[in-house]
Chain A
Amino acid sequence: MQEQAAIHVFESEHEATSTGLPNVKLAMWLFLASDVLLFGALITSYVVYRGRSVVGPYPNDVFDIPFTSVSSFVLLASSLTMVLALASVQRGDLPRMRLWLLATALLGLAFVGGQVYEFTTFYEEGLTLTTNVFGTTFYVLTGFHGTHVAIGILMLLSLFSLSFGGRITQRNSMTVEIVGLYWHFVDIVWIVIFTVVYLIPTGP
Chain B
Amino acid sequence: MEEVDTTQAEVTTSPPPAGGRWVRHPSPKEYVRIAVILAMVTAAEVAIYYIEAARDLLIPLLFLFAFIKFALVVLWFMHLRFDSRTYARFFVLGLAGAITLYIAVLLMFRTFAT
Binding site for B on A (CB under 8 A): 2, 5-13, 19-21, 25-26, 29-30, 32-37, 39-41, 43-44, 47-48, 50, 65-66, 69, 72-73, 76-77, 79-80, 82-84, 86-87, 90-91, 170-171, 177, 180-181, 184-185, 187-188, 191-192, 194-196, 199-201
Q: Is the CB of A191 within 8 A of B77?
A: no
- Residues B1-58 near A (CB distance < 8 A): 4, 7-8, 11-12, 16-17, 19-28, 30-32, 34-35, 38-39, 42, 45-46, 49, 58
Q: Is the CB of A47 within 8 A of B77?
A: no
Q: Is the CB of A40 within 8 A of B81?
A: no
Q: Name B's interface SS.
A: helix
Give the chain B neighbours of A65 by CB distance below 8 A: 46, 49
Q: Is the CB of A32 within 8 A of B101?
A: no
A6-B24, A76-B38 known; A48+B111 contact, CB < 8 A: yes
Q: Is the CB of B26 within 8 A of A7?
A: yes
Bound: A40/B84 CA distance, A: 25
Q: Name A's interface SS.
A: helix
Q: Is the CB of A37 within 8 A of B77?
A: no
Q: Is the CB of A21 within 8 A of B27?
A: no
Give the chain A neighbours of B23 by CB distance below 8 A: 8-11
> Number of contact residues on B: which range applies?
35 or more
Give the chain A neighbours of B30 by CB distance below 8 A: 5-6
6 A–B contacts from the bound complex (CB under 8 Å)? A5-B27, A9-B25, A83-B77, A170-B17, A184-B77, A199-B45
Binding site for A on B (CB under 8 A): 4, 7-8, 11-12, 16-17, 19-28, 30-32, 34-35, 38-39, 42, 45-46, 49, 58-59, 62-63, 65-66, 69-70, 73-74, 77-79, 81-82, 84, 86-87, 90-91, 93-95, 97-99, 101-102, 105-106, 109, 111
Q: Is the CB of A11 within 8 A of B21?
A: yes
Give the chain B neighbours of A77 by CB distance below 8 A: 35, 39
Give the chain A neighbours of B4 by CB distance below 8 A: 7, 87, 91
Q: Is the CB of B98 within 8 A of A40?
A: yes
Question: In angstroms, how far is the closest chain B Cβ from the Cβ of A87?
Answer: 5
Give the chain A neighbours of B91 by CB distance below 8 A: 29, 32-33, 36
Bound: A13/B17 CA distance, A: 10
Q: Is the CB of B46 within 8 A of A29?
A: no
Bound: A37/B63 CA distance, A: 19
Give the chain B neighbours of A29 by CB distance below 8 A: 87, 90-91
Q: Is the CB of B25 within 8 A of A19?
A: no
Bound: A43/B70 CA distance, A: 16
Q: Is the CB of A30 within 8 A of B90?
A: yes
Q: Is the CB of A80 within 8 A of B78?
A: no
